[in-house]
Amino acid sequence: MTALIALFWRDLRRAWGSGALWLPVLFFLLVATAFPFAVGPDAPLLRRAGGGMVWVAALLAALLPIDRLVKPDKDAGVLDQLAVRGFADEVIAAVKIGAHAIGFGLPLMVALFPAAALLAQDSGRVEILATGIAIAVPALASLAVLSAALTANHKGGSAVGGLLILPLAVPMLIFGAGMLDPSGRGAVKLLAATSLLLTVIGPFAAGAALRGLRE
Amino acid sequence: MTRLLRLDDVACIRGDRLLFEGLSLALNRGDALWLRGPNGTGKSSLIRLAAGLLRPAAGTIERRERVALIDEAAALDAELPLRRALDFWARVDTVDGHSVDRAMDEMALNNLAEVPVSMLSTGQRKRAAMVRVIASGAPIWLLDEPANGMDDAAQARLVAAIARHRANGGAVLLASHFAIGVPNLAELDMGALA
């Protein structure tokens, strides 16, 4: 357990210590800032479309850190050293997913509030958005680590990773944005179920991908 | 005589190429075996098989104790000071800081403890990787080209560390394309197996 905690803190330190943390958060805020420029200062339109835009921005921001989740550890021999010590690839993947969910999810949640304000979202909608994104973050982290593991042997892996993540994340986008619809009361349950499914499958799929990197 | 590592009738295929087959060897406590031969004869692949990082195409591999590995990657976080980078592995191996202190002393790296790993030379990184191996306390050492980039003094420290490890009941499987002066060493010419 001590070893897994050490691995978790190492991943978190690398996420927060390198400055790479701010890249997806800034990207998220920039997208939220750019949207009103594109559609004009029409508050009712921004209020109506802004919630969906927040979700799209969150998904795109989740793609940015893919390059640094697995490839640096593979190139530096860290994954081999962990395997030699008998750590199951699934456990390593689960730790990486946990660290990424915290390392990426927390700042994203903080950035959500100014982004929602820029998109004219009232407090009720901000609350719904925050709940939805908090539910989706573990699944987004799971998909990000899976994509990172699948593409760690390829140049330009993040571009390929984006193509992998986006289709798998579409159900969360639909249910998450659906939570903002007054008639979409079941959306939160569907979002939670989708997120749970992806979060549970993620470590096994990413673990298999990590194992494949050694062959 | 306790057996630590045994390979029985092992075959290795990389890509479509058969590197070797029917290879059997055993390492007991105090043993050391030098895998020698030119590039591409399967020295590194044999080390990775022994470490469990590759699956043999045929045969069985049995490890009865923990393994420590050196290969071409130092597995140390480049942005950290050397000591902090080594402390991470000490926590993973659940050994105390004194083990790292002693190992750094053995490889004469104490004066570089606060230097970022990214600033170390190739030979210094190899010595740092040896510190990781020594501090781990693993009885089986798998060393793939551990002396690459090391100067004569560092090689002498490596040879001394291997001798101490064997004297303490450890075993060493060493792959190197040149002799590094380890005494009482069994040899396996990988080139002859191809």
pLDDT in tens, A109-160: 888 888 888 888 888 899 999 999 999 999 999 999 999 999 888 776 667 7
Residue A107, pLDDT above cutoff 80: yes
List Cβ neighbours of A67 (8 Å cut-off, separation of 6 or more).
A148, A157, A158
Q: What confidence score (pLDDT) does residue A158 get?
A: 66
Q: Which residue of A has its CA nearest to B12?
A: A215
Other beta carbons within 10 angstroms of residue B3's beta carbon come to 14
Whether the pLDDT of residue B192 is over 80: the answer is no
| Order of strands across the sheet that contains B32-36 | B67-70, B140-144, B171-175, B32-36, B186-189
- As a 3-state breakdown, chain A gives helix, strand, coil percent values, each rounded to 5, of 85, 0, 15
pLDDT in tens, A29-68: 888 888 888 888 788 888 888 888 889 888 888 878 888 8
Would you call B60 exposed, middle or buried from its count of C-beta atoms within 10 A (0-12, 13-18, 19+)?
Answer: exposed
Q: With b meaning 16 or more CB within 10 Å and e meaning fewer, what string describes B80-108?
A: bbbbbbbbbbbbbbebeeebbbebbebbe
| pLDDT score at A18 | 67
ipTM of the complex: 0.92
DSSP string, chain B: --EEEEEEEEEEEETTEEEEEEEEEEEETT-EEEEE-STTSSHHHHHHHHHTSS--SEEEEEE-S-EEEE-S-----TTSBHHHHHHHHHHHTT--HHHHHHHHHHTT-GGGTTSBGGGS-HHHHHHHHHHHHHHHT-SEEEEESTTTT--HHHHHHHHHHHHHHHHTT-EEEEE-SS----SS-EEEEGGGT-
Q: Which of A74, A81, A215 to mutate to test the interface with B (most CBs of B within 10 A)?
A: A81
Query: Is pLDDT above 80 for A17?
Result: no
pLDDT at position A157? 64
Contact (Cβ atoms closer than 8 angstroms) between residue B39 and residue B175: no
Cβ-Cβ pairs closer than 8 A, A with B, add up to 53
Please list the residues that pair with B6 across neighbouring strands: B26, B62
- Structure confidence at residue B51 as a pLDDT band (50, 70, 90): very high
User: What number is the average pLDDT over the span B107-129?
Assistant: 93
The rounded mean pLDDT for chain A is 88
Q: Which of B53, B76, B91 sits opposite A80 (nearest CB)?
A: B53
In the numeric block, which tokens belong to residue A128?
């719904």
Q: Which residues of B touch A18 (CB under 8 A)?
A: 79
Through-space distance between the first and last CA atoms of chain A, rounded to whole angstroms: 27
Q: Is B133 on the interface with A (CB under 8 A)?
A: no
Contacts of B78 in chain A (CB under 8 A): 76
What mean pLDDT is predicted for residues A83-104? 93
A77: contact with B, CB 8 A cutoff: yes
Mean pLDDT in residue range A81-102: 94
Q: What is the mean pLDDT of chain B?
A: 91
Tens of pLDDT, residues B63-77: 999 999 999 888 999
**A82 — contact with chain B (CB < 8 Å)?**
yes
Tell whether the torsion through CA atoms of B16, B20, B22 and B27 is positive or negative: negative
| A20 at interface of B, judged by CB pairs closer than 8 A | no
Q: CB A76 to CB B77 under 8 A? A: yes
Most confident stretch, A45-54, B149-158, B185-194:
B149-158
**B138 → chain A, closest CA residue:** A85
